[in-house]
Amino acid sequence: MLNYTDENQKMMEYLPLVEKAARNVKVKSYEYEMEDLVNIGFIGLMDALEKFDESKKVPFENYAYIRIKGSIIDEVRKNAKVPRSQMQRLNEYYKAKEELEHELQRNPTEQEICAKIGINDKQLSGLHNTVLALSNISLNEVLFDEDSDGSTRLDYIEDESLVSSEDLLLQDEQEYYLHQAIKRLTEREQTILQLYYKEELQLKDIAYIFEISVPRVSQIHGKTLMKLREYIQEAMQEEQL
């Protein structure tokens, strides 16, 4: 059991590990500054220091990283502003899309899907924003998880030596499908994704570049993610035939 002085020393010693975990969570939200994420991460570090079992023969840094990053993700997920009603409606949207595909033997339009579940254009924009909010926590799950209910299963493991060969193959496969799907997007959609995920610009900066409103950028972004998900699902289904 660490005393107060030892604990403070350990906290300072592992500050770089906490900062590394905070940077890797990739939360694009106005509600969290890096300092906020670091402070949350310290809770995970304290938990790791208290519960670490040397007899498990696991490096403390690996164990602590999982705890730190997990505490940050749990906090962000807990406070994510995605109402359960919106998640239910989003799931209804995807279900209706699948049913219409079987009925029509083609990809239904957004208008046809909206008509089936009884929502208007404003409510559709709300679904685009829901997808965008979820992507702030886990982009991979938004694009690849067919049964997503809003929960996340982010990869807490930083050390690639701890990742199985099956996981690495899956990651490569997902990257391939993603790259192929991105090619099908319009130039503006590709640019917005590039600016948001690669250049890490905020929505207000992207809005300024395109001379449109922030809500409009948010809508385009969310709609683009839904298109990516659709393209990826199509490619994966064709591969299985």
Residue 140 in any domain: the answer is yes
Query: Distance (Å, rounded) from C-alpha 201 to C-alpha 193?
Result: 10
Residue 97 in any domain: the answer is yes
**Structural domain span for residue 178:** 84-240
Write down the pTM of the prediction: 0.50
66 lies in the same domain as 123:
no
CATH of the domain at 146: 1.20.140
30 lies in the same domain as 105:
no
Q: Provide the pLDDT confidence category of residue 117 given band limits of 50, 70 and 90.
A: very high
Residue 1 in any domain: the answer is no
Q: Provide the pLDDT confidence category of residue 52 given band limits of 50, 70 and 90.
A: confident
166 lies in the same domain as 236:
yes
Q: Which of 16, 47, 79 is the last residue of a domain?
A: 79
Mean pLDDT of 107-111: 87
Q: Which of 32, 58, 79 is the last residue of a domain?
A: 79
Q: What is the pLDDT of residue 187?
A: 92
Q: What digits encode the pLDDT tens for the residues 85-99?
A: 777 888 888 889 889
Amino acid at 207: A
Q: What digits encode the pLDDT tens for the residues 131-153?
A: 877 776 556 666 776 544 433 33
Is the pLDDT at 184 greater than 80? The verdict is yes
Q: Provide the pLDDT confidence category of residue 154 given band limits of 50, 70 and 90.
A: very low
Q: Which of 79, 94, 121 is the last residue of a domain?
A: 79
Query: Distance (Å, rounded) from C-alpha 37 to C-alpha 27?
Result: 9
Residue 40 in any domain: the answer is yes
Least confident of 57-61, 95-99, 109-113: 57-61
> Domain total for the chain?
2
Burial class (CB in 10 A: 0-12, 13-18, 19+), 192: buried
140 lies in the same domain as 113:
yes
115 lies in the same domain as 186:
yes
